[in-house]
Amino acid sequence: MQRNPSEIFSRRLRQARLIRKLSLRELAEAMGSKVSYNALAKYEKGKMMPSGEVLAAICSALNQPADFFFRGFTVDLEKVEFRKRSRLSVTEEKAIVEEARDFFERYGEIEELLHAKIDFKTPFEASNRALGPEGVEALADELRSAKHWNLGNDPLPNIHELLEFKGIKVYVAQTENQAFDGLSGKANASPVIVLAHWLESNLPRKRMTEVHELAHLIVPLDSDQPLREKERVISRFAGAFLLPKQPFEEMFGKNRQTISLGELIQIKAYFGASIMAIMKRGEQLGLVSSAVYQRFCMFVSQQQWRTVGEPGDAEYKGDETHSRFQQLVFRAVAEGIITSSRGAALLRIGLDEFRAQFQQLFA
């Protein structure tokens, strides 16, 4: 339901402040002497509206265009859960959620204008049965099969693009905090995934995070299972989907007692998965023993891979970006549905930058 302007402004002010991770007092300080803490508090409670001069100062301090503060709320984010191991502060969690909400609102707006929404089709029926390892493997194979996504057993070239074309919107949050890698949820009942920007420098890790969050969205879980067991199911599905058994087994080999780093880097380059994920998959499939896997984990700790990064990242040449949202905005401008100014606002870039990227071929 659309609210009155003061109520919309008050909620948008709070949202923009949370995105910037500022308290009201910190925002007042950032604005210098232009507005007091008390006035900001009244704006946020919907008791008062700012003048044009103050609004301009708020826009500058919070790095938002003026139209942001008067745009109606169109997206309800639901079932958004940060992982239990997350070490993020509440302030950082709120910033990620509100930043993502803004993106999904803009994405939904352009889809509605173009009648271009892709409806997500849930591949598996809800179930309250506990899934064993074989059941999880079967689900991953089924999703890749012609019955559902028709992917075969080849490596996935671009998971971000795949998810978008299946109706799952993906947003990369502007955070470099490695305490956060990803989350999933629903935006107006449609599935969404939010990823951390720092993953752009580690594509194998980003790919595993994408399929892990996909698993949270689609794998039917037993509600009575302990959280740890649910996470094991999710992780197993993600590994099986990214590294399908047959081709993985052929490359990795059976009954391995030792394995070279050179082999692992080649497998990493082929599948776009981290060496640690590859060795875990080898243990899951019984291709290496638990003892061999434990020795590998000790080696990883000694080499401090979790801190300094593992070798072979440069060997993976894949792409994990997608520009559907930008393409839809360009299309709407080209067809005269929205102006260039509106297109720039939707993409959160300046008008000159928008025109440079847009490059209309003919009038």
Helix (H) / strand (E) containing 196: strand 190-196
Instruction: Note whether 128 and 223 are within 8 A (CB).
Output: yes
Closest Cα partner for 331 from 118, 171, 115? 115
Q: Counting beta carbons within 10 angstroms of the beta carbon of residue 150, is it exposed (0 to 12), middle (13 to 18) or buried (19 or more)?
A: exposed
Distances (CA, A) of 363 to 110, 236, 281, 295, 336: 22, 53, 55, 65, 11
Instruction: Note whether 354 and 344 are within 8 A (CB).
Output: yes
pLDDT beneath 50, residues of the chain: 1
Q: What is the pLDDT of residue 1?
A: 46
| Token pair in block for residue 10 | 């008050």
Q: What is the pLDDT of residue 84?
A: 62
Letter string b/e over residues 224-254, b meaning 16 or more CB atoms within 10 A of that residue's CB: ebeeeebbebbbbbbbbbbbbbeebbeebee
**318 Cβ neighbours under 8 A, 6+ residues apart:** 157, 158, 203, 207, 272
192 forms beta bridges with: 169, 185
Q: What is the pLDDT of residue 83?
A: 76
Q: What is the pLDDT of residue 362?
A: 64
Half-sphere exposure of 200 (CA within 13 A, CB side): 13
Q: Which amino acid appears at position 229 of this protein?
A: E
Q: What is the pLDDT of residue 363?
A: 57
> Parallel, antiparallel, or unpaired: how do β-strands 182-187 and 169-173 relate?
unpaired
DSSP 172: E
- The domain limits of the chain are 1-73, 133-315, 324-358
- Overall fold of domain 1-73: 434 Repressor (Amino-terminal Domain) (1.10.260)
Estimate to the nearest angstrom the gap between the alpha carbon of 280 and the chain centroid.
23
| Token pair in block for residue 304 | 């401090």
Alpha helix (H) residue ranges in 172-260:
203-218, 227-242, 245-252
Q: What is the pLDDT of residue 85?
A: 63
55 forms beta bridges with: none
**94 Cβ neighbours under 8 A, 6+ residues apart:** 18
Estimate to the nearest angstrom the gap between the alpha carbon of 84 and the chain centroid.
17
* pTM over cut 0.85: yes
Report the alpha-carbon distance of residue 7 to residue 13 in Å, rounded. Answer: 10
Q: What is the pLDDT of residue 222?
A: 86
Report the alpha-carbon distance of residue 312 to residue 310 in Å, rounded. Answer: 7
Instruction: Note whether 279 and 287 are within 8 A (CB).
Output: no
| Site of tokens 């191991």 | 85
Half-sphere exposure of 19 (CA within 13 A, CB side): 20
Distances (CA, A) of 324 to 60, 304, 351: 29, 38, 20
